[in-house]
Amino acid sequence: MAELKVLFQDEKDQLDKLKEIIAKQEKEADPLMRWCTKPGCSGSMRADDLEAVRVSCPICATQVCFQCRDEWHSGTCEDNMKTKLEGWVSQHGGVRFCPVCKTKVEKNEGCNHMTCIICKYEFCWLCLGYAAQNANHWNPMSPYSCGAPMIGAAS
154 neighbors 94 (Cβ within 8 angstroms): yes
Between CA 150 and CA 123 the distance in angstroms is 11
Between CA 144 and CA 132 the distance in angstroms is 11
Catalytic residue among 41, 77, 111, 119: 111
62 neighbors 52 (Cβ within 8 angstroms): no
Is 57 an active-site residue? no
Between CA 18 and CA 21 the distance in angstroms is 5
Q: Which residues are catalytic?
A: 111
